[in-house]
Amino acid sequence: MSCDAWKTKIFGRCMIRSDPFILIAMKRIFISSRGNPEHLAELFRRELPGYDVLTTQPGPDDPAVQYIVVGRPAPGVIAAVPGIELVLSLNAGVEHLLASGEVPDGLPIVRLVDEGLALGMAEWVLAQALAWHRNLFDYAEVQKRAEWTPRAEKLANERRVAVLGAGALGRPVAEHFVRFGFDTRVWSRTRHDIPGAATFAGREQLLEAVAGSDILVNLLPLTAETAGIIDASVFAALNQGAFFINGARGAHVVDADLLAALDSGQLSGAALDVFRVEPLPADDPFWRHLKIRVSPHVAAPTHAHVAVKEMAENIRRFERGEAIPHLVDRTAGY
């Protein structure tokens, strides 16, 4: 760590020299990312120039680090950082942080839900849905055989879409489907009002929500209640030949039931961006199934400049004592 000319290093940490005789301790941020932590650190330094931003693991005897920015940290990383007051996740999903047991119960965690994530997810889901809806996947296959074979086409208002999840990602996706004219249904743990869409809530209404749907989209958070929720009963409730899109988590789906639905023709295809094991092993049957389209967890990538602006603003909110959006509810699991 280096100190600029306007800072002084004392006892291993930088201090702001606001007066020749007064030194004020800087707030510290630790970036724990397996991606490009230095790039994130530079963006944070631009957003919060009065903060000391670290990319190397602090030790338990080092000065307090008030904020930690984490993706999927290795075991022991969070527990070893002294003085944490707020955990800022680099992901919208936080099940890995809650499951690890490393984040003390009283320590707040903020999910990353920024405009870039929501836009990216909406683009990916709509791209998959519209390509299936307008037979573009089929035409790509018959082109290889130079066959001029028009398919029967439908309008959006002749298709029913069911979106599982009505949060920061599911809601805007559902709103896009409404704007395109699809008969849109939305299911979530608790009921949400989404203009133009029929909404359902609670496990007892799940099959009712998806019944007769042509497209099923999963954007649920992963919790103990939603793990394995998309099973044979859900696929059976869809229209025959329906299309499944999963941009949430692989563990939501019973893989054997998905493969069975594809093989039987109950599903005509699936677009999968997330899997139980990632990267998807080379011998996984999903790679070779002709009805499955695999993408490598890219549906809603983190756009660093947008994410850092949102996290920096959450730090400011925290220090002003204001409410922070997307604060994790541990009882709900997200």
Active site residues: 249, 297
What CA–CA distance (Å, rounded) separates 257 from 17? 63
d(CA 254, CA 45): 44
3-state secondary structure the chain: CCCCCCEEEECCEEEEEEECCEEEECCEEEEECCCCHHHHHHHHHHHCCCCEEECCCCCCCCCCCCEEEECCCCCCCCCCCCCCCEEEECCCCCHHHHHHCCCCCCCCEECCCCHHHHHHHHHHHHHHHHHHHCCHHHHHHHHCCCCCCCCCCCCHHHCEEEEECCCCCHHHHHHHHHHHCCEEEEEECCCCCCCCCEEEECHHHHHHHHCCCCEEEECCCCCCCCCCCECHHHHHHCCCCEEEEECCCHHHECHHHHHHHHHHCCEEEEEECCCCCCCCCCCCHHHHCCCEEECCCCCCCCCHHHHHHHHHHHHHHHHHCCCCCCECCCCCCC
Structure tokens at 63: 């000065």
| Angle (nearest 5°) at CA 317 between 302 and 320 | 160
Amino acid at 18: S
